[in-house]
Amino acid sequence: VLRQLIDREQPGLVLLGKQAIDDDCNQTGQMLAALWDRPQATFASKVEVNGSTARVTREVDAGLETIEVDLPAVVTADLRLNEPRFIKLPDIMKAKSKPLETIAFADLAVESGDHLKTTHYAPPSKRSKGVMVKDVAELVAALKSKGLL
C-alpha cells in the first residue's frame, strides 16, 4: 500500500516511525526503501534537507553518526527527532473542518485482506537447567563438552 501511495504522490521524502507498537519489528521503513529502490536513513534524531540530499544524524551504539542520502529517500524517526508542541484549541477546531482524502485499496490496485496463513502453533522448547562454573577455564571446558566451541 505504501509503495503504491509513493507511486501516486511522488514524495521527495518519506518519514516513518522507528518501529511499530504492536510487534516492535522495525522493518517497515527498510522494506519500503527496498521496494522503492531508494536510500534509507534509520533512527534519525536530526534531518536537514539541502536541495537533492538529506543530511541525517542518527543514533547508533557508538554514539551519533551523520550520513547523507540522495532524495527521494525513506527516513525513520527516533523519538528525539521532534520536539512536541502544544496546539491551541482554535487550531484543533480548524483542523477538524479540513478535507481528508480517503483512498480505497481498489484505487491503488492493492488487494485487502489477510495474506498470511497460520499453519502451526507450538510452545517454545523447555530450557535445560543451567550449570554453575567457578572460573573461565571451567566455562570453556563446559562449552567445549557441549560442542559450542
| Residue pLDDT, tens place only, 32-44 | 999 999 999 999 9
Q: Is the pLDDT of residue 91 over 90?
A: yes
Exposure of 2 in the CB half-sphere (CA atoms within 13 A): 14
Q: Is the pLDDT of residue 109 over 90?
A: no
Q: Exposed, middle or buried, 40 (CB in 10 Å: 0-12/13-18/19+)? A: buried
Q: What pLDDT band is residue 116 in, cutting at 50, 70 and 90?
A: confident
Q: Is the pLDDT of residue 1 over 80?
A: yes
Average pLDDT score over the chain: 90
CATH of range 2-83; options 3.10.310.30, 3.90.1170.50, 3.40.50.620, 2.60.40.790: 3.40.50.620
User: Rounded distance, CA 59 to CA 147, Å?
Assistant: 37
Average of per-residue pLDDT across 115-144 = 89
Query: Which pLDDT belongs to residue 78?
Result: 87
DSSP state for residue 53 in the 8-state scheme: E
pLDDT tens per residue, range 38-87: 999 999 999 999 999 999 999 888 889 999 999 999 999 988 888 888 89
